[in-house]
Structure 1
């Protein structure tokens, strides 16, 4: 059954109008009649409504045919349904100019027999309109109950989408707030923006959460009602999902808080809680700790939105889950990896093979306001270890290189062990012996020769890379290296010597800034 409302064509089939005559505007017979009113004043501008049927004897415009043209124009602009005229008493027929204008705008003009009372027309038409609206309302309630019950019974968004597609008799798609496809019906229907489709926003608490796309342009009234009910039901589904997601995030956050604090949990406890929250026991976890002078995310919010979007997308590809947690001015990314994931060799899958640190490095190295550290991969029970390593990575890495924003524990692990060993072994005599003259020269002259030597050795003897890290010219680095050799009498051609000098300069810089 098609719910088109009462059309002008239906109107002319009513017994009360069996002798009425369609004068013009035949192409507008599909217009829907929603209201009916009587006009006996010439000025109707401002109170005409879309879908309105206007009845008139032409009394108020009998002396000025131009007023009839104005009336037709205003009715067309308003989207009125039709104009019904009784011309016998006060008008000598309907002017040809009005007929031509009516045909131009596809606005029907109906000549009503003089003997038919207005009250009979208005009563009959309103009865038909109300009957149509009552039927539409009953069907709307049925649709709403059906779709709502699907949500309340947790049938799934796919079942809801299938029912909506059946009601509107065309494919539909539901997109997320970032444009990602959440569900389609048929399930195999891929989404491509099209000129023949129509779309409606889905909102929850006045916030845009998604978009409903319907694969056709023309819809009847029942289909429009279905769309409105579907938007409401999908909003309920989004709200249900959000509530479930927020609850899961809160519980997951509690578990990670316990793990990061190092509470005494057994492996079985952690495994059971993790499984309940969708965290598989075989996943390995690494902590990315992000901190800065301002509270995270602060004025770098767009950057973090991009990072979180990338992490979520890549986690979905890798069939793992990530977790984000804020601690005062720190942001923690808890990133999972599946160790038994099959290696994919296709070029378009190379991004999925990258380590998390390599994938996120371009984001963090572009922002000088933050620093971040990556811990090593650990089982869920030992995620606290990765958290400590991430903190060490920032603490040690930033002392060695103030111009970098991102550090991994793997890069500083040797220096971490060196500092720990210094609690039991006195390295200071060796440091003084190897680079004591350089450090003394720096103190007396305000120079950076020790730092220059460290960068030079850390970059494998590259003058260009050292110059980039020191923000000086290459020739300046070459001059400094020559001065270093001269002041400290260093032999940098011997690999063993270079290694010893590298450790000594690193240890010196780490202790200097403690």
Structure 2
């Protein structure tokens, strides 16, 4: 209906009634009129209701009478009209007191006024008003469509919706190149839980958010593209209470907003592709003219004169088997965009951003060395580097809980050529770090130990031969006899060749350990008590890990 309680008091039967409490709430709007015939009617109210009652369903329940006004207020009702001289002589004082406390209008219906005297005129008003509203809405949608088709842009669309809604409208964006529009108001960003709620609902929903540091009722409409949340349109209750029409205005406007977002995203994808191609050549060391490269970098607002720390980030989806093609190409592309946006956000500082690119399914980040706390050019393993990597991995895991992330960190090398060296090492840290740690984590190239040398070897024939002469024989024996000699050998070396400690770790008897070691020596012709032969076994285990990593 969209009529205020104050105006409704001049219509039909209500014109013969009087407000006896809560006069300060007469600005509330009435959309529905409902009669209370059963005690639990409140659960069926829609909000903005005028509730008519004789109190008969609860007349003998003092607790229900005492809670009635608070319950109506909590569900967003507009007023309570009580018919007296039928089942109650007068309106209970607790109802009057609660109405004054909550500024919730309490109306006394005289005995000679029927419910129909009140409901029928309000219904007629609603029907007449709906025709006017429908015509007004169609004119608005025609206007805003013309704005969108005429290329007026998002600010014009936002301003048009604000005029129609008669409340403040703000636009939130997940896209850095598209600044959020908040009309110079301080708006709290959506929380992770609120974003998730919007993605599930896929429609406008009511929320409470901070506006200028005050909790304010609002309607939030998600801007979704291929089921990914790219922004929101929020209508704030700053001038009048919400009505059902506000939801329709937002829901009809958002597709036009989404088209504008799609334009920005498409342009950003093309620009990202150019950046990726250019930076790939730099990371691969294909730099013939450093001056030309630095000049071209400035076209992307990159300062390649600076020194950078290189991070490589990999992500895997455990729900998809390795080698299985992703048939949801569009969704995968959307997720890649979201990943890039999140990485940009994590590594942003001051008014600038780190350089972010995609290279062979890895997200590569070049972070200015002088921005890392506690670092200098003499020590590449300062805690600040690892803390930054750990923080990035943690935030990505929280945002994309379905994915698993690893971060590889190269040693620091200054200058343009240093990017190539740092990138190679960061990739190696990713490739070798997973089989080494057995889990996803942050791995610095220096932590690879002997693998830094093994990973650089070009001729794999001798390494494979060494593997076949040692660990390969144990793997074959374990497979054919359902044994665990490889695991035993790994634990034996991990426990500094202590029989007792290894037996305890493997939950076996010491004599069993002795038998297994004898079997290992018999199969490999390498004694675990001879330093040189023990080294061959250890190298065989390292090569085994390299083979598992696919290098």
Q: TM-score, normalised by structure 1?
A: 0.51
Aligned positions of 1:264-343 closer than 5 A: 264-281=287-304, 282=306, 283-289=308-314, 293-295=322-324, 311-316=343-348, 320-321=353-354, 323=356, 325=358, 327=360, 331-341=361-371, 343=373
Determine the structure 2 residue equivalent to 1:174.
171
Give the one of 182, 185, 196 matched to 1:187: 185
**Take 1:231 and 1:455, find their aligned partners in 2: how far apart are those partners?**
60
The question of whether the paired residues in 1 share the 8 Å contact of 2:311 and 2:366 is answered with yes
Matched, 1:244 2:244: no
**Take 1:197 and 1:412, find their aligned partners in 2: how far apart are those partners?**
53
The question of whether the paired residues in 1 share the 8 Å contact of 2:224 and 2:231 is answered with yes
The question of whether the paired residues in 2 share the 8 Å contact of 1:485 and 1:491 is answered with no
CA shift digits 1:116-149 (9 cap, x unpaired): xxxxxxxxx99x969x968995998499759977
| Number of positions where the alignment pairs a residue of Structure 1 with one of Structure 2 | 391
**Take 2:144 and 2:517, find their aligned partners in 1: how far apart are those partners?**
87
**Take 2:119 and 2:451, find their aligned partners in 1: how far apart are those partners?**
85
Give the one of 355, 367, 376 matched to 2:410: 376
The question of whether the paired residues in 2 share the 8 Å contact of 1:438 and 1:449 is answered with no
The question of whether the paired residues in 1 share the 8 Å contact of 2:503 and 2:513 is answered with no
Give the one of 200, 214, 226 matched to 2:235: 214
Give the one of 398, 414, 439 matched to 2:450: 414
Determine the structure 2 residue equivalent to 1:85.
none
Aligned positions of 1:470-509 closer than 5 A: 473-475=506-508, 480=513, 484=517, 504-509=536-541
CA shift digits 1:155-210 (9 cap, x unpaired): x96x98688768866443323479x9944233323358427322334466998643
The question of whether the paired residues in 2 share the 8 Å contact of 1:289 and 1:333 is answered with yes
Structure number with larger C-alpha Rg? 1
Gaps of 5+ in 2: 18-28, 32-110, 191-206, 209-215, 375-382
User: Compared with structure 1, are the counterparts of its residues 491 and 213 closer, same or farther at alpha carbon in structure 2 (3 Å cutoff)?
Assistant: same
Give the one of 97, 101, 118 matched to 1:103: 118
**Take 2:236 and 2:326, find their aligned partners in 1: how far apart are those partners?**
40
The question of whether the paired residues in 2 share the 8 Å contact of 1:371 and 1:394 is answered with no
**Structure 1 vs Structure 2 CA RMSD:** 6.5
Aligned positions of 1:43-54 closer than 5 A: none
Deviates more, 1:355-364 or 1:265-274: 355-364
**Take 1:371 and 1:207, find their aligned partners in 2: how far apart are those partners?**
20
Matched, 1:254 2:266: no
SS in 2 for 1:175: strand
Give the one of 334, 337, 356 matched to 2:389: 356
SS in 1 for 2:188: coil
CA shift digits 1:425-462 (9 cap, x unpaired): x9999x99xxx999988877876656644454456679
Q: TM-score, normalised by structure 2?
A: 0.48
SS in 2 for 1:294: coil
Gaps of 5+ in 1: 10-20, 33-95, 111-124, 345-349
**Take 2:166 and 2:402, find their aligned partners in 1: how far apart are those partners?**
54
**Take 2:282 and 2:364, find their aligned partners in 1: how far apart are those partners?**
12
CA shift digits 1:18-48 (9 cap, x unpaired): xxx9755669xx999xxxxxxxxxxxxxxxx
